[in-house]
């Protein structure tokens, strides 16, 4: 009987056979820096361990680096350095100071010379390259122990294989967390902890209290529950002196105190911030050759953490857990984009690895909100919206609108209880704002693309009120060392200056408000629409740089500008207290997507704007530091940081120049992106860089806060993209092998002469269809209407 004689079985096989696209995911892409192989210098800070899409648990190794110069192990992992343990909570692709690295275990084969309070005495080198694929991670330590692990949403499973003649220990250090090598003022601290074990030592549970990190959060608890599949011979709980952050070099030796008791606490006062460090040392019999442990995490209680194990890990076998993770990634993320064009494995790896990294954050903590009871979804680890609003959140709106809506509902819920939506948030705490209240952009982008429909469950009355809080309420000053002039926690710290003096980020934020106000609060529409043009207050029409006239420039309160100011210089660090944040004024001078018409006029018209765009891509012109992302090339356009994201595609606004956007798109992706470990030009920024690349590969780029996408040129002969919940957007090409330039386009079967499409074009009917005829000629095909400038308003200020 052939396999398919039983029709029903064959049918079942057909419908369940989701192709396994995880084979194209390499979790190590973005863990090393360009020009710095084998190190994390200028790397993407990608988390390569095991995780589910938006999973709470990101289970992986924590390491030191052999050289900490310009390195912080933001995701726990560095390619070089020693392993100090495995831990359950991580971020992916972030900069700033490391956050998390909690809920620790470290397998040891001896305790000779080990001080359980000092990771330098037990850390291990790796004897082969770590192995990672979706849902699986493996590391082989110098002590001969191999650790293999997998993760579910709130739990993880790990298998330790011990060498034959070694002793068998598991060390648990509740005070383990990711230290910061570079940003001491935002370092994390262990504050307190509690651990209790079962009488036979097969289980333990408890919590750690931690503070600090990128958001400078106050003390917060992380609960854990863990169990072993074997019974230890011996369990010793221990405590030791708090590590004083103010005297890190103290040479006084305080040996740990061991106890046979069944529980240990850092300090009886639950929120006491200088409690003793605590942990446990488990000793297993030599008959145990492989030891397994299941570990659950919760922000509510250790009982919840135990329940997560029960519900998500009903097995001691790693294989089904790995398979379930792969299945979920295929279903929820990877199969959303498919192609029959399988000629180029490199491109497929770039595509699917990027999609993977775009869905690691934020963390879906629904049901795990420690601060208030809510029926709404709860997300944490917005790290940061400043990075992701430009094109990552737009990807979710198009391909996963329910997920995008859940994220927005959680932002609004944070406003409901904490008065401000975050621009960045981790550890259940808002902070730090980098410029703009960019949740406004995320909400407006979703609103104008149909997430106003009741089925998405977003209360837009409250959503708009949350946006209005950003636009109207001055957040209290946090007197942050990096910027003592206003709040860096949330909201718009420079709001009072905005109305009289202008900025550029708040312009887009106010445009975002106007787009939602149009329906929700029509009386506010003109106000925010007018305010969105405020960038013109700092447009200096007489300012000259590299042959071009007219730039943004910060002004003193008396309305004058610094005579030494140059738009090619963003200050010493290009950080909070500097001229511009992580980008040159040259770059920021392009960031008015809602009124390109006025901007191009200010720049002297389309022809000058074109030469000026060309100047963005001349190598060698960028001379000074540009803050984060520095090291990625020498053009003013900075592929490694977000302010430059939209710039290569602005040729679409000039008419008959779309071919130049295609040229830039190809140039930048070819030069800076690959499937190598150094395959992204800097910090991933929670997947923001990867999302930028994916849009390039697809041949579209979203104009955030407008239901508009610019047309580029796809890299695949065909793509099917799941959009709007249950429809398929079909992107097909002919002539791809002849060249990347658009010769002709049809959209939904109609001839097309515009370099842009609307959201409706992509989702109409059963989904949109775009067919590109490609070739080598730089055709001036885009003769139709220019992409819209819906915020067009010239305030007629001529500085
Ligand atoms: C390892 O120990 C050093 C020195 O005490 C400490 O600074 C660091 O935070 C520890 N690392 C981890 C991951 O606990
Ligand atoms: C600790 O020691 C390091 C290395 O010797 C030194 O650079 C640093 O300034 C010292 N820190 C303090 C607070 O003494
Ligand atoms: C596959 O794509 C990569 C990335 O664009 C490119 O560098 C490589 O030349 C391509 N390989 C083939 C065989 O076309
Ligand atoms: C939306 O929020 C407003 C203000 O809190 C409330 O009055 C209204 O009932 C909510 N709408 C829905 C559909 O829940
Ligand atoms: C908006 O701007 C227009 C033109 O610049 C002006 O006439 C109008 O009074 C402004 N309205 C508000 C509400 O600011
Ligand atoms: C500026 O103009 C000079 C003289 O025409 C030219 O040589 C130079 O390339 C221009 N620089 C840029 C950045 O366009
Ligand atoms: C404006 O303020 C700046 C900075 O305080 C000062 O250097 C400058 O002299 C002032 N200019 C005028 C015209 O008052
Ligand atoms: C597709 O989604 C739309 C909007 O959510 C819904 O109205 C429609 O019933 C769905 N169709 C199918 C076939 O699921
Ligand atoms: C583009 O294709 C359309 C429809 O197939 C056709 O009518 C039109 O002439 C073509 N335009 C060019 C410039 O080839
Ligand atoms: C662009 O296409 C539209 C719709 O087919 C047509 O009305 C218009 O005349 C075209 N524009 C040019 C400049 O050919």
User: Probe ligand 5: pick from 524, 530, 532, 598, max atoms within 8 Å of CB?
Assistant: 530
**Domain check: are 264 and 117 in the same one?**
yes
CA of 404 to the centre of ligand 1 (A): 38
Same domain? For 303 and 194 the reply is yes
Q: CA 381 → CA 94, 463, 510, 682, 718, distances in Å?
A: 10, 20, 25, 20, 34
Show which of 284, 314, 334 is a domain's final residue.
Answer: 334
**From residue 710, how far is each of 462, 611, 662 by CA, in Å?**
31, 20, 11
Q: Say if residue 616 is in the same domain as residue 687.
A: yes
Ligand nearest to the CA of 559: 7
- Take residue 766 and report the two structure tokens written for it: 């059963």
Whether residue 557 is contained in a domain is answered as yes
Torsions phi, psi for 49 (to 5 deg): -75, -165
Nearest alpha-carbon partner for 662 in 652, 654, 675, 653: 652
Neighbours of 564 (CB within 10 A): 6
Instruction: Collect the ranges in the chain with pLDDT lower than 50.
Output: 1-15
pLDDT for 246: 60
Is 525 found in the same domain as 408? Answer: yes
Nearest CA to ligand 6 atom 2: 547
Nearest to 113 by CA among 143, 71, 77: 143
Domain count, the chain: 2
- Give, for ligand 4, the residue of 462, 466, 520 to mutate: max count of ligand atoms closer than 8 Å to Cβ: 462
Q: Does one domain contain both 330 and 391? A: no
Residue 84 sits in the same domain as residue 164? yes
Residues 260 and 377 in one domain: no
Residues 510 and 574 in one domain: yes
Contact 76, 63 (CB under 8 A): yes
Q: What are the residues whose beta carbons fall under 8 Å from the beta carbon of 166, sequence distance 6 or more? A: 109, 110, 143, 144, 145
Say if 233 falls within a structural domain: yes
Tell me, what CATH number does 188's domain have?
Answer: 2.70.98.10
Ligand nearest to the CA of 249: 2
* Residue 495: Cβ within 10 Å count: 19
* Domain membership of residue 279 as a residue range: 7-334
206 occurs within a structural domain = yes
Query: Which ligand 4 atom is the nearest neighbour of the CA of 454?
Result: 13
Residue with CA closest to ligand 5 atom 14:
527
305 and 424 inside one domain: no
Probe target for ligand 2 pocket from 248, 250, 251, with the most ligand atoms within 8 Å of CB: 248
744 within ligand 9 shell (Cβ under 6 A):
yes
Looking at residue 635, its pLDDT comes to: 94
**Structural domain contains residue 754:** no
Q: Is residue 32 part of a domain?
A: yes
What's the pTM?
Answer: 0.95
Stated length of the chain: 799
Q: Are residues 291 and 423 in the same domain?
A: no
| Whole-number Å distance between alpha carbons of 670 and 666 | 6
Determine, yes or no, domain membership for 747. no
Report whether residue 780 contacts ligand 10, using a CB cutoff of 6 Å. Answer: no
Condensed to tens digits (0 to 9), the pLDDT of residues 37-49 reads 999 998 999 999 9
324 and 385 co-located in one domain: no
| Residue-level pLDDT at 309 | 98
Tell which of 334, 355, 375 closes a domain: 334
Residue owning the nearest CA to atom 14 of ligand 3? 344
The secondary structure of residue 608, as a DSSP letter, is H
State the CB neighbour count (10 A cutoff) for residue 738.
13
Closest ligand by atom to 525 CA: 5
Residue 736 lies in a domain: no
Which listed ligand is nearest to 743 at the C-alpha? 9
Q: Measuring CA to CA, which residue among 487, 673, 644, 671 is closest to residue 570?
A: 644
Ligand 1 atom 6: the closest Cα is on which residue? 179
* Backbone dihedral region for residue 135 (phi beyond 0: left; psi -120 to 50: alpha; all else: beta): left
Q: How much distance in Å is there from the Cα of 751 to the middle of ligand 9?
A: 6
Ligand 8 pocket, Cβ-based, cut-off 6 angstroms: 455, 725-726
Could you tell me if residue 34 is inside a domain? yes
- CA 169/CA 106 separation, integer angstroms: 8
The CATH code of the domain that includes 659 is 1.50.10
Rounded to the nearest whole angstrom, what is the distance from the C-alpha of residue 766 to the centroid of ligand 8?
Answer: 10
Domain stops at, among 281, 312, 334: 334
Are both 326 and 456 inside the same structural domain? Answer: no
Q: Which residues line ligand 6 (CB under 6 A)?
A: 546-547, 615, 618
Q: Pairing between strand 741-747 and 104-108?
A: unpaired
pLDDT in tens, 73-114: 999 999 999 999 999 999 999 998 999 999 999 999 999 999
Q: Would you say the CB of residue 346 lies under 6 angstroms from ligand 3?
A: yes
């Amino acid at each position: 009987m052939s396999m398919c004689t039983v029709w029903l079985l064959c049918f079942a096989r057909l419908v369940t056979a989701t192709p396994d696209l995880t084979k194209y995911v390499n979790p190590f892409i973005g863990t090393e820096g360009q020009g710095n192989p084998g190190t994390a210098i200028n790397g993407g800070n990608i988390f390569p361990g095991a995780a589910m899409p938006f999973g709470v648990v990101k289970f992986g190794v924590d390491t030191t680096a052999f050289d900490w110069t310009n390195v912080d192990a933001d995701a726990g992992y560095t390619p070089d350095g020693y392993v100090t343990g495995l831990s359950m909570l991580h971020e992916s692709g972030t900069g700033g100071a490391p956050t998390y690295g909690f809920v620790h275990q470290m397998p040891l084969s001896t305790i000779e010379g080990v001080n359980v309070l000092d990771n330098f005495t037990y850390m291990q080198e790796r004897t082969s390259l770590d192995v990672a694929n979706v849902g699986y991670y493996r590391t082989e330590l110098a002590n001969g122990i191999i650790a293999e692990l997998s993760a579910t949403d709130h739990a993880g499973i790990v298998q330790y294989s011990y060498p034959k003649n070694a002793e068998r220990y598991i060390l648990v250090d509740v005070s383990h967390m990711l230290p910061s090598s570079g940003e001491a003022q935002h370092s994390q601290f262990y504050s307190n902890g509690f651990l209790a074990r079962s009488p036979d030592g097969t289980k333990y549970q408890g919590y750690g209290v931690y503070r600090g990190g990128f958001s400078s959060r106050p003390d917060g608890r992380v609960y854990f529950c863990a169990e072993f599949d074997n019974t230890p011979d011996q369990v010793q709980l221990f405590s030791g002196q708090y590590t004083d952050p103010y005297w890190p070099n103290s040479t006084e030796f305080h040996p740990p105190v061991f106890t046979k008791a069944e529980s240990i606490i850092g300090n009886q006062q639950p929120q006491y911030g200088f409690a003793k460090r605590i942990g446990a040392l488990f000793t297993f019999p030599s008959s145990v050759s492989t030891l397994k442990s299941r570990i659950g995490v919760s922000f509510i209680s250790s009982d919840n953490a135990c329940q997560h194990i029960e519900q998500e890990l009903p097995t001691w076998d790693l294989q089904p857990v790995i398979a379930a993770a792969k299945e979920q990634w295929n279903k929820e993320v990877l199969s959303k984009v498919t192609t029959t064009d399988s000629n180029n494995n490199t491109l497929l790896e770039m595509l699917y690895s990027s999609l993977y990294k775009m869905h690691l954050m934020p963390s879906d903590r629904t049901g795990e909100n420690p601060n208030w009871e809510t029926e709404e979804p709860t997300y944490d680890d917005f790290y940061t919206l400043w990075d992701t609003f430009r094109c990552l959140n737009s990807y979710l709106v198009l391909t996963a609108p329910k997920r995008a809506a859940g994220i927005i509902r959680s932002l609004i819920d944070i406003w409901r209880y904490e008065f401000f939506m975050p621009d960045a948030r981790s550890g259940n705490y808002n902070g730090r704002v980098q410029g703009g209240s960019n949740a406004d952009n995320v909400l407006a982008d979703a609103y104008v693309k149909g997430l106003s429909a009741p089925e998405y469950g977003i209360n837009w009355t409250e959503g708009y009120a949350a946006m209005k809080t950003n636009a109207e309420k001055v957040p209290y000053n946090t007197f942050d060392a990096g910027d003592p002039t206003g709040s860096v926690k949330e909201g718009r710290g420079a709001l009072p200056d905005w109305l009289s003096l202008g900025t550029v980020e708040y312009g887009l934020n106010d445009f975002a408000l106007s787009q939602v106000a149009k329906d929700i609060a029509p009386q506010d529409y003109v106000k925010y629409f007018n305010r969105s043009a405020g960038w013109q207050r700092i447009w200096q029409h007489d300012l000259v740089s590299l042959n071009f006239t007219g730039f943004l420039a910060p002004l003193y309160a008396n309305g004058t500008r610094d005579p030494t100011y140059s738009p090619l210089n963003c200050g010493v660090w290009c950080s909070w207290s500097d001229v511009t944040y992580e980008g040159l004024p040259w770059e920021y001078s392009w960031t008015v997507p809602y009124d390109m018409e006025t901007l191009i006029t200010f720049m002297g018209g389309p022809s000058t704007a074109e030469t000026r765009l060309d100047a963005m891509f001349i190598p060698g012109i960028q001379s000074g530091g540009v803050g984060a992302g520095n090291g990625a090339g020498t053009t003013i356009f900075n592929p490694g940081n977000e302010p430059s994201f939209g710039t290569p595609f602005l040729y679409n606004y000039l008419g008959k120049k779309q071919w130049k956007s295609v040229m830039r798109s190809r140039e930048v992706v070819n030069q800076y992106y690959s499937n190598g470990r150094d395959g992204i030009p800097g910090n991933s920024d929670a997947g923001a860089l990867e999302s930028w690349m994916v849009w390039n590969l697809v041949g579209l780029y979203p104009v955030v806060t407008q239901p508009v996408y610019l047309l580029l040129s796809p890299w695949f002969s065909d793509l099917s993209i799941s959009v709007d919940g249950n429809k398929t957007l079909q992107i097909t090409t002919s002539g791809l092998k002849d060249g990347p330039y658009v010769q002709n386009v049809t959209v939904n079967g109609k001839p097309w002469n515009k370099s842009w499409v609307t959201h409706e074009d992509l989702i109409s009917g059963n989904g949109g269809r775009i067919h590109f005829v490609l070739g080598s000629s730089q055709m001036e095909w885009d003769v139709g209407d220019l992409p819209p400038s819906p915020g067009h308003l010239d305030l007629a200020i001529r500085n």
